[in-house]
């Protein structure tokens, strides 16, 4: 029996990345999940990532510590206030303060390094160009540019190889992501998406991530099993 191709899957423990891991498994990849403790305030996601990696049968799961709090500049890595109760129009009006400067560039670069050591040529990430809340590093042009960089910046690339960044959620809205995750058997109760959870772990229900997630579950006609402190009616 031929060996399955290996893929490094970025796994935050949220809805999107968990669905991507399940997708990569379905596509026949041997999945090496990679998570980051980068100083984020929503650190519950690291434990969520561990749960999801185990439940979805990742071949291995690593958590790498990199302290992006040294730079700050984001509500997720500093004392800046996380926006709450915003409308979708407000979310899309500008790049939000929850954007972490260069985060996806840094995380994908580290995933690329792991991929080279594993002789893997595939990376899997949950970028989404529809419900991405204004993040510039969640756009198709960013992904294609990173693939070009990977070919130039690695021994594998210089020797004629290439890397593919798989983004199966890129063209899906949040309801589509929920439906895909459900079809792939993702246990949504294991995931965590909130930017600013309560001390007891309950999702706030009002940050951008919670608002988009809740909207997606409602539109998909599926009940979100995650516990919320506050749930908006619309």
| For the chain, percent of residues with pLDDT exceeding 70 | 96
Residue 234 confidence (pLDDT) above 60: no
pLDDT band at 1 (very low <50, low <70, confident <90, very high): low
pLDDT digits (tens, 9 = 90+) for 179-202: 999 999 999 999 999 999 998 999
Residue 93 DSSP SS3: helix
Strand 122-124 with 164-166, pairing: parallel
19 closest CA partner among 132, 212, 170, 195: 170
CATH entry 3.40.50.1100 includes domain 6-193: no
pLDDT digits (tens, 9 = 90+) for 84-108: 888 878 777 788 888 888 899 999 9
Higher pLDDT, 87 or 30: 30
pLDDT digits (tens, 9 = 90+) for 207-224: 999 999 999 999 999 999
List the single range of 74-83, 106-115, 160-169 with lowest mean pLDDT: 74-83
Give residue 95's pLDDT.
82
Average pLDDT, the chain: 92
171 closest CA partner among 143, 141, 139: 139
48 closest CA partner among 197, 193, 195: 193
Question: Distance between CA atoms of 54 and 103, rounded to whole angstroms?
Answer: 25
Return the H-helix or E-strand segment holding 30. strand 30-37
Give residue 71's pLDDT.
86
Residue 132 confidence (pLDDT) above 70: no
Q: Are 33 and 64 in contact (CB under 8 A)?
A: no
Residue 233 confidence (pLDDT) above 70: no
pLDDT digits (tens, 9 = 90+) for 135-183: 888 889 999 999 999 999 999 999 999 999 999 999 999 999 999 999 9
Give residue 232's pLDDT.
58
Residue 122 confidence (pLDDT) above 80: yes
Domain ranges of the chain: 6-193
190 closest CA partner among 21, 8, 6, 63: 21
Give residue 212's pLDDT.
92
Return the H-helix or E-strand segment holding 18. helix 15-26
Higher pLDDT, 131 or 95: 95
Give residue 133's pLDDT.
56
């Amino acid at each position: 029996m031929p060996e399955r191709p290996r893929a490094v899957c970025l796994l935050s423990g949220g809805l999107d990345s968990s669905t991507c891991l399940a997708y990569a498994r379905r596509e026949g990849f041997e999945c090496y999940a990679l998570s980051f403790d980068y100083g984020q305030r929503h650190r519950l996601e690291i434990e969520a990532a561990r749960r999801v990696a185990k439940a979805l049968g990742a071949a291995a799961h690593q958590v790498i510590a990199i302290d992006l709090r040294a730079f700050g500049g984001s509500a997720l890595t500093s004392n800046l206030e996380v926006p709450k109760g915003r409308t979708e129009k407000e979310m899309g009006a500008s790049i939000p303060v929850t954007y972490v400067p260069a985060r996806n560039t840094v995380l994908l670069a580290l995933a690329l390094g792991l991929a080279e050591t594993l002789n893997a040529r595939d990376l899997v990430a949950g970028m989404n160009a529809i419900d991405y809340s204004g993040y510039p590093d969640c756009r198709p042009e960013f992904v294609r540019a990173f693939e070009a960089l990977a070919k130039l910046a690695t021994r594998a690339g210089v020797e004629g190889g290439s890397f593919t960044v798989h983004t199966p959620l890129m063209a899906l809205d949040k309801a589509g992501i929920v439906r895909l995750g459900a079809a792939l058997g993702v246990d949504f109760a294991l995931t965590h998406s909130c930017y600013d959870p309560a001390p007891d772990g309950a999702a706030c229900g009002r940050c951008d991530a919670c608002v988009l997630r809740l909207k997606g579950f409602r539109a998909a006609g599926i009940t979100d099993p995650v516990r919320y402190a506050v749930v908006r009616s619309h």
